[in-house]
Amino acid sequence: MMRSPTSSLVVVLMLTSTVSAFAQVNAAPSRKGPVPPPGQPDLSDVNWILNGGGPTVFSAWTLTPDGKRRMDAYDFKTDDPAYSCTAASWTRAWLNPNALVHITQGPDFVRLQHEFMDIDRRIPLSNPRDPNPKRLRIPRHPQLGASAAWYEGNVLTIDTIDVAAGYMETIAERAGMPQSARMHTVERVHREGDRLVIETTYVDPVNYQSPFVSTIRYLKNDWDLMEYGCIPEEAAITSPR
């Protein structure tokens, strides 16, 4: 039996198509960002998402009398700044579900693009021993304060002060955790394989009797960032409880 040229061509095309599709499915994903400068940990090759990264853990924290009064007075319908399309704190930004974060690293800056509220955080790198480092403020987000950044080995450290008083947490069981203008946070960001770990230390003597720590874990993700596009007139918030 003779094989027709047409049949052979069809088989070849099908095999070629199958091999091509297999290669696309199994190909290693391309980098999401440029290779960081020498000496910096690689946090830029993928995007990151909260979902699937692991449990979020807060150490024990104790409110001062003023802090308790503020937390007891919290009303999500009026006190959550998400109504005006702003973030309550960096912790609130990190804890938003289903929103990606992309990190770009340069010789004199680190840039964290949060899908949540389209926050673009391009922080100048400083010397940790500098008593007055360069700091970044995010326009229209006074609760996020002024941040400086540097590396300590494989850890990206972000130091934030001068935040606007308000509430650092507005979701889940921690809704209503207050922050004063004296809140000082230090985020320590490092990579553990496919996970990004954000360990934040909080110092706010107005609202809390002693410092405490949160640990938030992100999982690598190949999705691309999308515009959040929050519009204050259309913002809707449901009860966190």
Residue 53 is assigned to a structural domain of this protein: yes
Residue 31 is assigned to a structural domain of this protein: no
Q: Please identify which residue in the block is written with the tokens 């960002």.
A: 33
Q: Please identify which residue in the block is written with the tokens 């480092």.
A: 133
Q: Is the Cβ–Cβ distance between 203 and 55 less than 8 Å?
A: no
Q: How high is the pLDDT of residue 29?
A: 60
Question: What domain range is 185 assigned to?
Answer: 47-234
Average pLDDT over residues 86-115: 97
User: How many separate domains does the chain show?
Assistant: 1
In 3D space, the residue among 215, 143, 139, 213 whose CA is nearest the CA of residue 179 turns out to be: 143
Residue 136: pLDDT above 50? yes
Q: How high is the pLDDT of residue 14?
A: 34
pLDDT in tens, 15-49: 333 333 333 344 446 889 999 999 999 999 999 99
Which amino acid, one-letter code, is at 172? Answer: A
Alpha-carbon gap, residue 174 to 121, rounded angstroms: 25
Residue 9: pLDDT above 50? no
**pTM assigned to the model:** 0.85
Q: How high is the pLDDT of residue 101?
A: 98
Average pLDDT over residues 210-227: 97
pLDDT in tens, 148-196: 999 999 999 999 999 999 999 999 889 999 999 999 999 999 999 999 9
Residue 117 is assigned to a structural domain of this protein: yes
Least confident window among 5-19, 86-100, 138-152: 5-19
Residue 115 is assigned to a structural domain of this protein: yes
Q: What is the DSSP letter of 34?
A: P
Q: How high is the pLDDT of residue 239?
A: 55
Question: What single string gives the DSSP state of each residue in 86-145?
Answer: --S-HHHHHT-TT-EEEEEE-SSEEEEEETGGGEEEEEEB--TT-SS---EE-TT-GGG-
Residue 4 is assigned to a structural domain of this protein: no
Residue 16 is assigned to a structural domain of this protein: no
| pLDDT tier at 237, thresholds 50, 70, 90 | low
Residue 14 is assigned to a structural domain of this protein: no
pLDDT in tens, 57-96: 999 999 999 999 999 999 999 999 999 999 999 999 999 9
Residue 33 is assigned to a structural domain of this protein: no
